[in-house]
Structure 1
Amino acid sequence: MRKSATVTVHADQIRFPVSPTLYGLFFEEISHAGDGGIYAELIRNRSFEDTLVPDRCHVEDCMLHSPAGWVSPFDHSDPIPGWIMQMTEGCEAEIKLDDAFPLNETNPLSLKVEAASVPHGRVSVCNTGFWGIPVRSGETYNLSFYAKKTDGFQGELEITLEDRSGNLYASSSVTLTSSEWRKYELTLVSDRDESEAMLAFSSRSAGTFWLELVSLFPRATFLHRKNGLRPDLVGMLQQLKPSFLRFPGGCFVEGFSVETAYRWKKTIGDISERTSHWTLWHYRTTNGLGYHEYLQMAEDMGLYMMFVVNCGLTCQGRPGELIPMEELGEWVQDMLDAIEYANGPVTGYWGSLRAKNGHPEPFGLKYLEIGNENFGPEYNRRYQVFYEAVKEKYPEIVTIWNTHWEVGTETKDLPVEIVDEHFYADNDFYQQYHDMYDHYDRNGPKIYVGEYAMIAGNKSGTLLGALSEAAFMTGMERNQDLVTMSSYAPLFANIHHTVWDPSLIYFDGTKVYGTPSFHIQKMFGEHRGELVVDSHVTSESRSADLYGGLGAMEKELDRIRDLVVKRGGETLLRLDHLTGSPQQCREFHGTLWIGDPSWRQYDVSAKVILGSEGIRLRLLDRHQPWDKQNYLLWELDPDGESRLVRIVGWSRVKLAPNRKTAVHPSDWQHMQVTIVEDAVQCFLNGELIHEYRPAPIPFLTSVSTLDRTAGELIIKLVNPSPYLLETEIHIHGAGNVPVQGRQTILTSRNPEDANTIDRPESVSPKVSDFRCDDGVYPIPPYAAAILRIKI
């Protein structure tokens, strides 16, 4: 079936320059993106600490319980993850963790190898790496480790790269010489390819020895840096042509307890001096990819640097712990010292330490984000302290404020330069709100869309997910005077430990592929242009699908009564009180789902007391878990401030102007909502407070930029619909320009098509010439097209 659309471009009407920082990278240690990923270390559990339980936590039935009551997986049925023992039949030996004589304070455990009897053959302790150690023929691998022995052990160790059948790929030997810790270094050269090799330490004599901090790196890291990065994964990032790197997270920065929060000072210096820690993504990080390495990665890739600093709050959704205001000084000083380490002169303490670590020149850290996805009064108070401290000492640093669970540009009268907005939502969300930033206040702060991805039903990244994101991205590009930065998230995932889908790039030990979203990011990054020009789209569209029951927070139920839902003259639901698990209601994770999620048009009436926390009433609630949740939220604060927002997935959109009315928090208020096909109206005590009319979802979205250097007009077209769009393209202000040039198209037959590790290019862009003699460009169903037209 065919539909129609029109794109009108005024090439001579310049709106503003494109933002040079619009597209960047957000790196987080999640899904083994760092350890077992871009960080080129090949040894898993190199310091034998992977089973350490974080302070103040305990483990029951393979579940970790945090001090604040958050529960997460901690399945270590393997007592020494990554390490196994193999021996010739007839030998007797065992391995165990030992904390009696640690290497140093930051490395409390070692591996004790006791070979009681080796009458023939060998006893071997082997590391299996991150789901295998990949080796390539002719490549050199640098091995380092600490070891000691008992006086009774002869000291000869054979060190090999081999497979589980004992086939050798590389070999060397070392003689242990001391009963004290000593460092040993050697190289291994593989004579063949193998994706699942092991590193083996073998003895042919009885005795006891210890291993600690076993590290194996390919010599061929990115730019051949020591303690470096995996070149193929860096290469994927370079294809995106990013402009900045945000690091090191994410929720990773916050942690789920004070002890698991990111502390950059524990991640610098020699790897033997660094402290590992358990992450909220269910594994321990070595912090080998530390603060210095992030700065170096950004510099090596020519990127601006954005450091996300913990502001004295752990992840508020897990639930959070906070550092008391009177103890915040240490955390503020950590932030100032981080800036000094990155930018300070070598004559200062932190600058001299940077030089000692191999980088005398300042890195040039430019951006600092204060917190991650933090919100509410506790965050606002801490933000003010951190902001003032930064600006007093480093006024040139650009700061970023969290608004993840706040609304848009409302900054609570705080000094804000850039706000960070995150969106994890469904397909309709990105298409319906493609024009969100068309309506933002230009007098507010600049916008950084720090995390976004279509997550609902998007598995490990489908074409439809990429196209819905692309529709939203056209809106970001149309508003680059306001939206100056963005980054997709998450960036990386190891296919063997994926805790979040989709990610942009998936990999194993030897292979890597980009999702359709990767190709969209690459296409948009490669075709930025220099100036945004005026353009307009007319398109056929579809109506937004609004339906659902109601919802209220369980802790507010005793302040809601006389709830009545009607449709026409029919009463659908009547509840005098919401406590006591009434019929047609279901409790779900702190929320009472009320009524039928299939309801479409109805009237709601209820009496409420705002109390000290206010009331939050969900409307058109589809009664789904958070990643698929979809509802309107009417929020009434105790002071009478009222907001109407849309919640989809982990995303929040302001639907109407905020209002403030005179109320007394201890008096009963009357809330009434009328929902019809084309409008939602909210009344408080008979007064209309909010009105929302959902916009239709267009089949086509577009943005146009001018590349003056190349003499080309760039038109981006996104069609997530199932229809072929016969699109008239009218170009004004550039003479009689034929609609012809080069096209880059991403499409596939099925919107659910995706790439895989074995079929990495199933959905990938195609480049060719095009010409439209009649000025009509046919955009295929489920497609994104970028046209470059000479003018």
Structure 2
Amino acid sequence: MSRITVRTENKRFPTAPNLYGIFFEDINRAGDGGLYPELLRNRSFEDSIEPKDCHTEQDGYALVSRAGWRDEFNHGEGLSRWIRKNGTPYTPVPAWYTNHAQMCLDRDDTLNVHRQVSLAVAFEKGGELYNTGFCGIAPKEGARYHFYMFARTETPVKVSVSVEEDAHEFGKLDFLLEGDGYVRYDGSFAADGDGRNARLVIRCPEGGKVNFGFCSLMPEDTYMGHGLRRDLVEKLRDLKPRFLRFPGGCIVEGFSPETAMQFKNVVGPVWERPGHQLMWHYRSYNGLGFHEYLQLCEDLDMEPLYVCNCGLTCQGRMPEFFEGEELEAMLQDTLYAIEYAIGDKTSEWGSLRAQMGHPEPFRLNYIEIGNENSGEVYEVRYRKFYDAIRKRYPHIRLIANTHLEEKGLQADIVDEHFYSTAEFFAENTNYYDNYDRKNPKIFLGELAVVRGWVGQLYGALGEAAFLIGMERNQDVVELASYAPLLENVDYNAWFPNLIRFNQRESIAIPTYYVWKMFGNSRGEDVVEADVETGTLYRPVKGMASLMGQAGLRYRNASWNGTPVGVTHELMGRVKEEEGSSCILPPDEEQRAEAEKLYRVDKDRVFAVFGEEQVTSGTFDIDIYAEEGREICLGVYSGRMPKEVYMADETHPPKEWNAANVKPFVWTLENGVSTFREQKFPSDRNLDEERIAELRYGEFNHFRYEVDGKQMKLYVNGECIHQVNVPGFPSLSSVVCDSPSEVIIKIVNMSPEEDAVEITLDCQVEDAYQVTLLTGEKQAENSFEEPEKVHDVLQSHSGASSHFYYTAPAYSVNVLRLVKVQDCCTEQ
């Protein structure tokens, strides 16, 4: 049984007004074909064209940047697994196919200077050109759709445009193509039925030659008529988000100079927006651009939070740095973006905003300078952008990617990102408790469980526990958003994502409901609340490993008294010698593999013993000790749970590698023994340093004993460290209030229900409401069961200044208690 003691009279600080927001990045085809509901894929015919500062290899399979970063390209179709999963047949122009017609890309006759090609088609009589959309077009009966295209012909050509599936025609438009140069043709139709795998067909009954410059098919019914997919925006609206971070994410940086995001390329008529290749394996047409983001913010009453490129391509993808005129141009692009958002309609870019239908300024109070940038190259560019923006727009709060205050630079807010396991988040509910209140505010710009209970209820519980700690420190944490936001399930590049969709419907993962519950229950002040509860231990597995300098000699390795050998040579090769074994330095194959991994030292050895699934037992080994040589043993050397994301899809990592095995590390060097946990950004000591005497020039006996909760480490029979496996509170809670109510948020990560004893210093009414999220630990939502896990509003009774609430096993609970006015009791 847990206890929560609430003191509403002790207000800690006001709740942060903009705490809960959303972050949009075009990943998993979240933009085109998703939030921006274009139904035609490759509407500008440019998907198969590599960026000018890149080249392709292996017959178009791989795209390689000038700096050497590789990605799957497949002639513009993206990931190989998308092609396999979706059964995509080859075509030289992605998504476009012909029957009795020939097509090719024309680089000389384009719609405008921003288009690289047009699609030249020579139709035979009755010939067809068709587009398969984003894994099919899904018309809905009675819904209206608007089609337009820019086309040029030398002589008049008759065409019909229809949406068809299995010989059924959902709607049809007829056009006579004629006139000088490119002419725009528009039409609308209402679908006469439901479809799932339809295609857009342009049919030419009499034959002829046509150059298509650009085309589009979109539903007419969009959210508030502003061109965004209704069901997706409604799900965003229900979160009550207070800000929108856009447009990324890594796409802001790009993976090459040409693919870096620039404001000037994402405004104006959509057919004049150049589009660009994203590092998420596809091309964006930028129909969802700066104006559309600002309009969405206005529609949902959110603060825009614009992320600008500060002169760097992605530092995780072999970066290039903008210098001189290029850097000045990127700074100017950011200043243009601000002017577009909040400048007078008579200004250069404010006038374009007015032309786009919004003469009055939007809001813009937050700008983030760069995305996930760091180091001296970032510091120089950050200062340049900071000074220029602050001088012209002093009201804007400026966000840094790292703690630049440690370098003497100013920042209003610092953006921190966390991707890990459910247990990591639960263990770090107190992460900001001791944060220096004089330092910049915190923006939790990206956080998600990406290993283990991914997209499942237990993952959401871990995240919820972390949010509980965040709310207890919202005098420090000003903003927070989950990442990523949206996923077209047919083009998955990252998982999990808050909202998943196909061409007809959308669902939310359990985490969505946590953010909805917390974002809809804010209160006015955070109040004092003490929590007493039990401890849950992190799940651990795996036997031992040896790490450190090459040349380490050992013998007599055993597990529970049975001899055991090295099962995985992650770095270095084991050489058997007479009576012992030695770990040789990593070979060229291992070193090449390490080049693709994150934070792996290519000069250190790493060898894993025995089985992976064990959680308790005794490991014994004799290791030869030499003065000046460190000895490192790993405890619990199992692999971390897999994650979907791969840094280089063209060279997937091995199942066992030096980056996905993170044991607790026991190190002995110069007579000092340390025991630590490998964590980002720096390791954490599990115990104090201890003196451990070794007999140099001979084998010493090492032993450890583990039972899933405790670890005991011995040298030559002497216990050096005795440490508990890291754990976390089984229940966490934060309390906010207003003049009329008390809001208690409770996360129970235990497999057992918890009869929570709640004591308040004020009287509350008997009846209260609870919003509850619970279910099986591994429960997740699907299109077949879209609300298997969702929030449920319940009515309860029995509340008072002292009462019990039963929090179900594996649950998130938001209690809303109504205060009895003018009545307080001393506790």
When the two structures are superposed, what TM-score results if normalisation uses the length of structure 2? 0.80
Count the aligned residue pairs.
723
Structure 1 counterpart of 2:732: 701
Matched, 1:753 2:779: yes
Hey, what's the Cα distance between the residues in 2 that align with 1:338 and 1:550? 53
User: Among 479, 482, 494, which residue is 2:488 paired with?
Assistant: 494
**Contact conserved, 2:42 with 2:95, CA < 8 A, in 1?**
yes
Assess, with a 3 A threshold, how the Cα gap between structure 1 residues 205 and 390 changes in structure 2: closer, same or farther. Answer: same
Structure 2 counterpart of 1:51: 48
Matched, 1:133 2:159: no
Structure 2 counterpart of 1:239: 238
Hey, what's the Cα distance between the residues in 2 that align with 1:714 and 1:600? 48
Structure 1 counterpart of 2:280: 281
2:25 partner amino acid: E
Give how far 1:146 is off: 0.8
SS at match of 2:203: strand
Give how far 1:563 is off: 6.2
Assess, with a 3 A threshold, how the Cα gap between structure 1 residues 484 and 550 changes in structure 2: closer, same or farther. Answer: farther
SS at match of 1:496: helix
**Contact conserved, 1:313 with 1:321, CA < 8 A, in 2?**
yes
Matched, 1:727 2:728: no
Matched, 1:429 2:440: no
TM alignment of 1:58-457, pairs within 5 A: 58-61=56-59, 62-76=61-75, 77-86=90-99, 92-116=100-124, 118=125, 122-151=126-155, 154-165=156-167, 167-178=168-179, 180-225=181-226, 228-324=227-323, 327-403=326-402, 411-457=406-452
2:783 partner amino acid: I
Give how far 1:790 is off: 1.3
Give the root-mean-square deviation of aligned CA atoms: 3.7
Deviations 1:339-370 (A, max 9, x none): 11111112321222222222221112111111
Structure 1 counterpart of 2:585: 579
Structure 1 counterpart of 2:571: none
Assess, with a 3 A threshold, how the Cα gap between structure 1 residues 545 and 652 changes in structure 2: closer, same or farther. Answer: farther
**Contact conserved, 1:656 with 1:692, CA < 8 A, in 2?**
no
Deviations 1:500-539 (A, max 9, x none): 1100000011101111111111111111111111101111
**Contact conserved, 2:157 with 2:207, CA < 8 A, in 1?**
no
Matched, 1:23 2:53: no
Structure 1 counterpart of 2:745: 716
Assess, with a 3 A threshold, how the Cα gap between structure 1 residues 768 and 66 changes in structure 2: closer, same or farther. Answer: same
Q: Alignment identity in percent?
A: 37
The farther-off stretch of 278-287 and 719-728 is 719-728
Hey, what's the Cα distance between the residues in 1 that align with 2:618 and 2:361? 59
- Gap regions ≥5 residues in structure 1: 87-91, 610-615, 635-642, 658-672, 682-690
Hey, what's the Cα distance between the residues in 2 that align with 1:7 and 1:606? 54
Deviations 1:427-468 (A, max 9, x none): 210111111111211121111100011111334x10111111
Give how far 1:333 is off: 1.4
Deviations 1:210-248 (A, max 9, x none): 2221111222111113xx111111001001000000000
Assess, with a 3 A threshold, how the Cα gap between structure 1 residues 625 and 179 changes in structure 2: closer, same or farther. Answer: farther
Deviations 1:268-293 (A, max 9, x none): 11112110111100010001111111
Hey, what's the Cα distance between the residues in 2 that align with 1:135 and 1:286? 22
Assess, with a 3 A threshold, how the Cα gap between structure 1 residues 189 and 547 changes in structure 2: closer, same or farther. Answer: closer
User: Among 451, 474, 478, which residue is 2:472 paired with?
Assistant: 478
The farther-off stretch of 767-776 and 388-397 is 767-776
Assess, with a 3 A threshold, how the Cα gap between structure 1 residues 196 and 393 changes in structure 2: closer, same or farther. Answer: same
Hey, what's the Cα distance between the residues in 1 that align with 2:681 and 2:783? 33
**Contact conserved, 1:299 with 1:363, CA < 8 A, in 2?**
yes
Give how far 1:320 is off: 1.7
Deviations 1:599-618 (A, max 9, x none): 99999999999xxxxxx999
SS at match of 2:51: coil
Give how far 1:139 is off: 2.5
Give how far 1:389 is off: 1.6
Assess, with a 3 A threshold, how the Cα gap between structure 1 residues 486 and 617 changes in structure 2: closer, same or farther. Answer: farther
Structure 1 counterpart of 2:671: none
Hey, what's the Cα distance between the residues in 2 that align with 1:257 and 1:373? 16
User: Among 525, 532, 535, which residue is 1:538 paired with?
Assistant: 532
**Contact conserved, 1:463 with 1:753, CA < 8 A, in 2?**
yes
**Contact conserved, 2:118 with 2:211, CA < 8 A, in 1?**
yes
Give how far 1:620 is off: 7.2
Give how far 1:470 is off: 0.5
**Contact conserved, 2:19 with 2:242, CA < 8 A, in 1?**
yes
The farther-off stretch of 737-746 and 394-403 is 737-746
1:217 partner amino acid: M
2:477 partner amino acid: V
**Contact conserved, 1:644 with 1:654, CA < 8 A, in 2?**
no
Hey, what's the Cα distance between the residues in 2 that align with 1:224 and 1:68? 43
2:229 partner amino acid: R
Hey, what's the Cα distance between the residues in 1 that align with 2:675 and 2:494? 29
Matched, 1:40 2:37: yes
Hey, what's the Cα distance between the residues in 2 that align with 1:370 and 1:264? 14
1:184 partner amino acid: Y
Deviations 1:91-140 (A, max 9, x none): x4322222231112211222222124x2xxx2221222212222223332
Structure 2 counterpart of 1:613: none
Structure 2 counterpart of 1:744: 771
**Contact conserved, 2:553 with 2:583, CA < 8 A, in 1?**
no
**Contact conserved, 1:343 with 1:351, CA < 8 A, in 2?**
yes
**Contact conserved, 2:105 with 2:119, CA < 8 A, in 1?**
yes
Deviations 1:651-677 (A, max 9, x none): 5477479xxxxxxxxxxxxxxx99998
1:85 partner amino acid: T
Give how far 1:576 is off: 9.1
Matched, 1:523 2:517: yes
Structure 1 counterpart of 2:809: 781
Give how far 1:196 is off: 2.8
Hey, what's the Cα distance between the residues in 1 that align with 2:815 and 2:640? 40
Give how far 1:303 is off: 0.6
Hey, what's the Cα distance between the residues in 2 that align with 1:433 and 1:36? 37
User: Among 591, 596, 599, which residue is 2:608 paired with?
Assistant: 596
Give how far 1:374 is off: 1.1
Matched, 1:762 2:799: no
Hey, what's the Cα distance between the residues in 1 that align with 2:546 and 2:363? 48
Hey, what's the Cα distance between the residues in 2 that align with 1:130 and 1:583? 40
Deviations 1:445-495 (A, max 9, x none): 111100011111334x10111111101110011111001110000000001
Hey, what's the Cα distance between the residues in 2 that align with 1:584 and 1:96? 45
SS at match of 1:133: coil
SS at match of 1:389: helix
SS at match of 1:114: strand
